[in-house]
Amino acid sequence: MFNFLIIYLAPGNPVEMFIDPNTSADQIELRKEQLGLNDPLWLQYLHWLGNLLQGNLGFSYNSFEPVSQILAERLGPTLLLMGLSLLVGILIMIPLGIVSATKQYSTLDYATTGFSFLGISIPNFFLGLGLIYVFSLQFPLLPTGGMKTLGSDGGFLDRVQHLILPVVVLAIGIAGKMIRYVRASMLEILGQDYLRTARAKGLREFVVTNKHALRNALIPIITVIGLEVPMLLGGAVITEQIFQWPGMGQLTIQSIMSRDYPILMAINLIAAIMVLVTNLLTDIFYSIADPRIKYQ
């Protein structure tokens, strides 16, 4: 309801965004009436909710295509980009966080902490534009954007080339935020008595750190990863726009600019569902990581 209120109270309306400027006021009012924009706000909300309960997300005010069809086309590219970015971020943050904790106050620890602060501090749009300038303009190694090369069939290698820069931008942001959590969680576990006992029994330090310590340090790490998944959708709005990636982020910007209310409401709904699903998955992974956690 809050999202609906904010979207519909924003200045402008869909009719003014896509209709010819020379159109008469009577024609504009007729179009608003046809779209139901002249109805009271509460009635428009009930109409949208009623359609939603029947599995109907409505139609785009601009293209007049079903919203569900538009989202189906855009959701796949965003999930591909988000999934790879999260995977690369995890592959960066866990090893660096472990090394930073085990080599506390060393040069490597300071370097890792510095990388973490850089990852947090550099905005996505700045890093993205910088990477495009270096790797696409100065050294034309990678494409500037899009999902495939124009005129090509978009094969595997071509898709990988288009994924590299946006994935790097998102993964650096994820790893930068998460390394500190991994480091802090590992430091708390490494001083526990049972790890001293494991070392006294002759277990190798690699086994002590990566099997026994990491397993027990996973709970806070799983928590922050679970919180990061829905936020990736927000981060992808900027990144997808910079790299012209045809996903949900770019669709969000286009829908805001054109005041396409049904699409914006559907995107908000997907974001809410993502939060609920990731919270559920996080609880499930708690019990996998720590068998002591049981749900009645």
Q: How far is CA 225 from CA 44, 165, 178, 217, 275, in A?
A: 37, 22, 8, 13, 12
pLDDT at 234: 65
Q: Is residue 251 part of a domain?
A: yes
Residue 67: inside a domain: no
Which residues fall within 8 angstroms of residue 212, CB to CB, at 6 or more apart? 194, 195, 198, 203
SS3 state of residue 59 = strand
Average pLDDT, the chain: 85
Span 42-69, average pLDDT: 89
- Are 10 and 126 part of one and the same domain? no
pLDDT digits (tens, 9 = 90+) for 118-165: 998 998 889 999 999 999 999 988 998 888 887 777 788 888 999 999
In this prediction, residue 166 carries a pLDDT of 93
**Are the C-beta atoms of 258 and 14 separated by less than 8 Å?**
yes
Domains of the chain: total:
2
Is position 139 within any domain? yes
- Which parts of the chain fold into alpha helices (H)? 2-9, 14-18, 25-35, 41-53, 67-102, 107-121, 124-132, 156-190, 193-200, 205-207, 214-242, 248-258, 261-289
Query: 247: which 2 tokens?
Result: 């996903």
Residues 127 and 171 in one domain: yes
- Do 266 and 166 lie in a common domain? yes
Q: Say whether both 24 and 94 belong to one domain.
A: no
- The CA angle 85-86-88, to the nearest 5 degrees, is 65
Q: Is the pLDDT of residue 295 over 70?
A: no
Kindly report whether the global pTM for this prediction surpasses the value 0.95. no
In a domain? residue 108: yes
The pLDDT of residue 254: 86
pLDDT at 128: 92
Residue 68 lies inside a defined structural domain of this protein:
no
Whether 117 and 252 map to the same domain: the answer is yes
Coil, helix or strand at residue 66:
strand
Q: Are residues 153 and 20 in the same domain?
A: no
Domain hosting residue 12, numbered range: 2-53
Q: Report the alpha-carbon distance of residue 92 to residue 100 in Å, rounded.
A: 12
- 38 shares its domain with 159: no
Q: Is residue 147 domain-shared with residue 231, that is, in the same domain?
A: yes
Same domain (yes/no): 184, 131: yes
Pair 44, 179 in one domain? no
CB-based contacts of 240: which residues, under 8 Å, 6+ apart? Answer: 78, 81, 166, 246, 247, 248, 249, 250
59: in domain: no
Same domain, 279 and 220: yes
Percent of the chain whose predicted confidence (pLDDT) is above 70: 96
The confidence score (pLDDT) of residue 126 equals 92
Mean pLDDT, residues 201-206: 82
Res. 237: pLDDT tops 90: no
Mean pLDDT for 274-296 is 81
Does 36 fall in a domain? yes
Q: CB neighbours (10 Å) of residue 155?
A: 11
If you count them, how many residues does the chain have? 296
Q: Are residues 49 and 103 in the same domain?
A: no
Residue 46 lies in a domain: yes
Closest listed residue to residue 9, CA positions, set 264, 218, 286: 264
